Amino acid sequence: MRKLTTDVVVIGGGSTGIGVLRDCAMRGYRTILVDRADLAQGTSGRFHGLLHSGGRYVVSDPESARECAQENAILTRIQPDAVECTGGLFVVTEQDDPEFGDKFLAGAGATQVPVEEISVSRALAREPRLNPSITRAFLVQDGTVDGWQLAWTATQSAVQYGGQALTYHKVNQVHHANGAVTGVSCTDLKTGEEVQIECSFVLNCAGPWAGQITHMAGLPPVAVVPGRGIMIAMSHRIVNTVINRCIYPADGDILVPVHTVCIIGTTDVKVADPDHLEIPREEVQQMLDSGEELIPGFRQARALHAWAGARPLIQDDRVAASDTRHMSRGMAVIDHLERDNLKGLITIGGGKLTTYRLMAEHIVNAMEEQLETSHPCRTAEEICPGNEPGHNYMITHRLKDREADRMTSPIICECELMNREMFTTLLKEHPHASFDDLRRQLRVGMGPCQGGFCSSRVAGIAHEEGVIDAARATGLLKLFLEHRWIGVWPILHGDQVRQVALDDWMLHGTLDISHVPSPAQVETDPVDGSHTGDDPPAAIRKPVSTMTASHAATGQQRRSALRPEETR
């Protein structure tokens, strides 16, 4: 058993937890973050990649809009390498309420979110694939953000201030005595070792899993209602600007260019278990219909991969309705001293990635209020390590890098331009990592071939470098392919069927991978068990017209029942 002592334990390695880790560490608290999986493996890695300009909320939630606009500018400055300044467009299609555009402009003025109405022809010149029948277009400062990059560079900043992040550490119990938190016990899932962390404060940032943590503290249940949203990555940059439907926030209203792909999102459906998120065929069809309305021919474009994320909505009767002091919009803070008479535990729910830094600031303020102390928050001032000031991500960066080093290191993943050196460097920093863990930082296997060519290479390299043995390399290779398939099969159609046939031909036909022995299980994998069964896809042979109509109706119901900003 390992024993650690610290001031604060942060549970949850999503953007909120990482923001809190960094803020606590910068304010001088000894802080340890634990997560049962990898950093940003949950909701923070399963979204559409939008860095909000605030435009989305100027009508529905002006305060949110203001916060987004401010935080967008801050993140673009402090984590430039995670942010691409794509700009965004809000477009009014023929199906949309033409008057919403006026409300949109008025709301933008009131919230000081920069918006400029541009002519339809200018919008089409900027994004030629856009539906030419749009009636109005507004330019905003949307960006796109890589949740994993954001998580890792913020963590590195925290580490510089003495913070620690323990990934694959599963919390088993939150201990308290005499009405105050005394520590947390966990299991290191990679080694099986028990880890006891003594602390006086626990910040529960477990998002959709926050209820499980309060249960481990023996407290009355906190009601968490995960809202599932699906996203589909389309091959290539169909657009280079974020495209929003200029409507009241709804399903399937956004197309986001991120790295080498475009992501369409999303839906919002109440689910029971955030560990089992389906990607239902009906919702896929709904996304493709929405895409078609923004980009004619969208259904003929190549869909690469789909995923589902769980929104961390907390509904708790015991939170005093008047207590909004510590809240960012869309965020719920439960101080368990007030709720359960337990000192040293605060649970956080809700929120959005764009405002993660601000939320963290509010949460640490709440902690300091309970501790009756105060330190200034400096997270907005300092640039995270590894980032060059003013040097925001551009899609061409990797091409430039590979052109510079192509004579020294072979390109292992051609789709995402990852070379051998990038892989081996990270692998040696994380020798226990699965190939999925490495993928989240390197993007290996995330392009059009979905691991068909690169997966057997990374297995060979990991073994050749002496980091893992051949059995584990083979096992991780198979696990990686299984995991890629989770996101491929629910959306498989069109040109991607050709790719899958080629991948199967290579991996199964030529290499005969399924007849290479490997350990029965190489990895415990708490999150990625999304949907691996044999369940049939729901009937999908419906004509388009009925599909659109029925989904429009159910979509409406879902929104009124589940949108965080409306239920709060």
Partner 1 sequence: MTDTVVIGSGLAGLVAAIRLALGGQQVTLLTFGTGGTQLGQGTIDVLGYTSDDPDDPSVHWPFDELPRYAGAHPRHPYARLSADQVRRAVDWLATLVPDLLIPGDGRNHVVPTAVGAMRPTYLVQPSMVWPDPTSVAVVGPRQIKDFYPEMTAANLEKTAEVTATGYHIDLPTRRGEAESAPVVYATALDDEQFRLGFATEVARVIGDEEVVCLPAILGLKADTSWRIAKIIGRPVVETLMPPPSIPGMRLNEALLAIAKEAGVRLITGSKVVGFEGASGQVTAVTLRQAGRDQAYPANSFVYAGGGFESGSLSMDSYGEVTETLFGLPLPGADQPRLITGNYWKDQKLFSLGVDVDKTMRPVNATGQAIYNNLYAVGGLLAGAIRWTEKSGDAIAVASAVQASDSIVGKETNV
Query: Which residue ranges make up the site for partner 1 (CB under 8 A)?
Result: 281, 285, 288, 299-300, 303, 406-412, 420, 453, 456-457, 459-461, 463-464, 469-471, 473-474, 477, 481-482, 485-486, 489-490, 492-494, 497-498, 500-502, 504-517, 531-537, 539-542, 544
356 CB-near residues (< 8 Å, 6+ apart): 15, 16, 18, 19, 44, 71, 150
Tokens describing residue 154:
């913020």
Please return the burial class of 470, using the count of CB atoms within 10 Å of its CB with bins 0-12, 13-18 and 19+. middle
If DSSP codes are grouped into helix, strand and coil, which group holds residue 467?
A: coil
Between residues 197 and 481, which has the closer beta carbon with respect to partner 1?
481
Between residues 209 and 423, which has the closer beta carbon with respect to partner 1?
423
Q: CB of residue 535 vs partner 1: minimum separation in angstroms?
A: 7
* Termini Cα distance of the chain: 43
CA 309 centroid distance within chain = 7
Q: CB of residue 464 vs partner 1: minimum separation in angstroms?
A: 5
Between residues 233 and 481, which has the closer beta carbon with respect to partner 1?
481
329 CB-near residues (< 8 Å, 6+ apart): 57, 61, 63, 64, 67, 355, 565
CA 331 centroid distance within chain = 16
Of 534, 518, 525, nearest in space to 478 by CA? 518
Between residues 320 and 511, which has the closer beta carbon with respect to partner 1?
511
Contact 291, 311 (CB under 8 A): no
CA 516 to each of CA 64, 478, 508, 511, 521: distance values in angstroms, whole numbers, following the listed order: 53, 10, 10, 9, 14
Q: CB of residue 299 vs partner 1: minimum separation in angstroms?
A: 4
Tokens describing residue 291:
């895409």
Q: How far apart are CA 330 and CA 458, in angstroms?
A: 41
Between residues 125 and 511, which has the closer beta carbon with respect to partner 1?
511
Of 480, 491, 482, 510, nearest in space to 413 by CA? 480
Q: CB of residue 111 vs partner 1: minimum separation in angstroms?
A: 38
Q: CB of residue 450 vs partner 1: minimum separation in angstroms?
A: 11
Q: How far apart are CA 425 and CA 415, in angstroms?
A: 20
Q: How far apart are CA 246 and CA 338, in angstroms?
A: 41
Q: CB of residue 165 vs partner 1: minimum separation in angstroms?
A: 31
Between residues 197 and 476, which has the closer beta carbon with respect to partner 1?
476
Between residues 176 and 302, which has the closer beta carbon with respect to partner 1?
302
φ/ψ region of 450 (left if φ > 0, alpha if ψ in -120 to 50, else beta) reads: left
Tokens describing residue 119:
């002519």
Q: CB of residue 486 vs partner 1: minimum separation in angstroms?
A: 7
Largest CA distance in the chain: 68
Between residues 426 and 492, which has the closer beta carbon with respect to partner 1?
492
Contact 223, 316 (CB under 8 A): yes
Between residues 153 and 455, which has the closer beta carbon with respect to partner 1?
455
Q: CB of residue 301 vs partner 1: minimum separation in angstroms?
A: 9
Between residues 40 and 462, which has the closer beta carbon with respect to partner 1?
462
Q: CB of residue 542 vs partner 1: minimum separation in angstroms?
A: 8
Q: How far apart are CA 543 and CA 374, in angstroms?
A: 61
Q: CB of residue 292 vs partner 1: minimum separation in angstroms?
A: 9
Between residues 94 and 482, which has the closer beta carbon with respect to partner 1?
482
HSE-CB for 3 with a 13 A CA cutoff: 1
Q: CB of residue 424 vs partner 1: minimum separation in angstroms?
A: 13
